[in-house]
């Protein structure tokens, strides 16, 4: 199953404000950025190799977990309800 990233635990600057950063933070921030891009690239390549029947449920699960994580980190967010008419 998926491991939730809790409050940017792998990325210490996730919750930082730009005013809090120093020139000394640049090396670590750039390293974290490169790590994130590498992981994203690998994930995109892996997902593109899946069939549509495998890809769709996985993407829905990732989307659902992302929304749940966002809401748990920011409880004041109001999300619009989407209705589909048939």
Tens digits of residue pLDDT in 34-69:
998 999 999 889 888 889 888 889 888 888 887 777
- Judge contact between 62 and 1, C-beta under 8 A: no
Tokens at 4, concatenated? 């939730």
Going from N- to C-terminal start, the domains of the chain cover 1-68
Q: Residue 70's closest CA among 6, 3, 2?
A: 6
Tokens at 86, concatenated? 């048939």
| Predicted pLDDT of residue 76 | 61
| Predicted pLDDT of residue 84 | 46
Predicted TM-score (pTM) of this structure: 0.54
């Amino acid at each position: 199953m998926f491991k939730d990233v809790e409050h940017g635990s792998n990325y210490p600057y996730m919750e930082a404000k730009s005013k809090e950063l120093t020139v000394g933070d640049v090396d670590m921030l750039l390293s974290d950025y490169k790590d994130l891009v590498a992981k994203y690239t690998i994930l995109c390549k892996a997902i593109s190799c899946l069939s549509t029947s495998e890809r769709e449920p996985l993407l829905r699960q990732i989307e659902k977990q992302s929304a749940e994580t966002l809401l748990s980190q920011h409880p004041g967010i109001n999300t619009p309800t989407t209705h589909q008419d048939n």
